[in-house]
């Protein structure tokens, strides 16, 4: 019996790797560390609207840089610790050069 590697199989492997990303673990850890009762209390502590926390929990919104910094300020956890709590194991972030180029005016 032979095993064939198809593009679909490669895609499913990538999806399996992404299952380690868990923003819920990050949010639950913050609630516990800050001794809060629920997501509404967390949203007040982070000074964001409650739907932001809900969208992050349901993976419709990523944890952005500004929110990660706010979590750091409120919890005194390092950015690395916060990233580890949500399952982000990347050692470097790469930002595209295009993000820093001014838009040309026509």
Q: What is the 3-state secondary structure (H, E, C) of 48-83?
A: CCHHHHHHHHCCCCCCCHHHHHHHHHHHCCCHHHHH
Instruction: Read off the pTM.
Output: 0.68
Q: What is the chain's pLDDT, residue by residue, as a tens digit (106 residues)? A: 444 444 444 444 444 444 478 899 999 999 999 999 999 999 999 999 999 999 999 999 999 999 999 999 999 999 999 988 998 777 666 666 665 566 666 5
User: What structural domains and CATH numbers belong to the chain?
Assistant: 19-85 (1.10.260.40)
């Amino acid at each position: 019996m032979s095993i064939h590697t198809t593009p679909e199989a490669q895609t499913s492997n990538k999806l399996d790797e992404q299952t380690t990303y868990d923003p819920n673990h990050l949010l639950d850890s913050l609630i516990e560390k800050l001794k809060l009762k629920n997501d509404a209390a967390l949203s007040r502590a982070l000074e964001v609207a409650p739907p932001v926390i809900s969208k992050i929990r349901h993976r419709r919104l990523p944890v952005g840089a500004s929110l990660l910094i706010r979590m750091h300020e409120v919890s005194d956890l390092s950015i690395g610790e916060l990233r580890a709590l949500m399952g982000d194991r990347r050692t470097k972030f790469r930002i595209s050069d295009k993000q820093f180029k001014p838009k040309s005016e026509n």
